[in-house]
Amino acid sequence: MNFNEIKQLIDIVDSSDFQETIIEQGDVKIILRRASATAVIPPPSALTGSEPAVKASPQTVTASVIQKDESKSGLIESRSPIVGTFYQSSSPDAPPFVAVNDTIKKGDVLCIIEAMKLMNEIEAEVSGTIVEILVENGQAVEYDQPLFRIKP
């Protein structure tokens, strides 16, 4: 499935009344959900290249993935809900949204992931303390990749 086919699917769903659509073709699975903005969550195999960074108005991704990490004594892993590029702050000269040992509340912005030239704010799904940041600024991230470890 190439980029143009994915764009056509987004346009079709956007012009319909569907609230959620799941499209599977071989090992590619795309989930389109209607919210204040349509969120596209392609698997790692759907995108082959990295897009250059651009300024765009941020969208909020509300379907971030969290998972309890049993191997790290009760820590929660905040995982990437989309494929894209990880950014710790809103601009190169701005301070990071969070740092190790910061206390966060559910709904706080943890980072931005740029995907398909859209800046997506990733919000905390739990309250707690940031124990570890697992990716570097500007690094490409995959769907479901751990980004942060949080002590609830």
Domains, the chain, in order of start with CATH, read: 3-46 (no CATH), 59-151 (2.40.50.100)
138 touches 85 (CB < 8 A): yes
pTM, 2 dp: 0.56
Q: What is the pLDDT, as a whole number, of residue 73?
A: 72
- Kind and range of the H or E run holding 80: none
Q: Spell out, as residue ranges, where the chain has pLDDT lower than 70.
A: 1, 3, 26-28, 33-72
pLDDT tens digits for 45-85?
444 444 444 444 455 443 344 444 445 578 999 999 999 99
Give the C-alpha distances (Å, rounded to integers) separating 113 from 40, 61, 91: 12, 9, 12
Whether 120 and 61 have beta carbons less than 8 Å apart is answered as yes
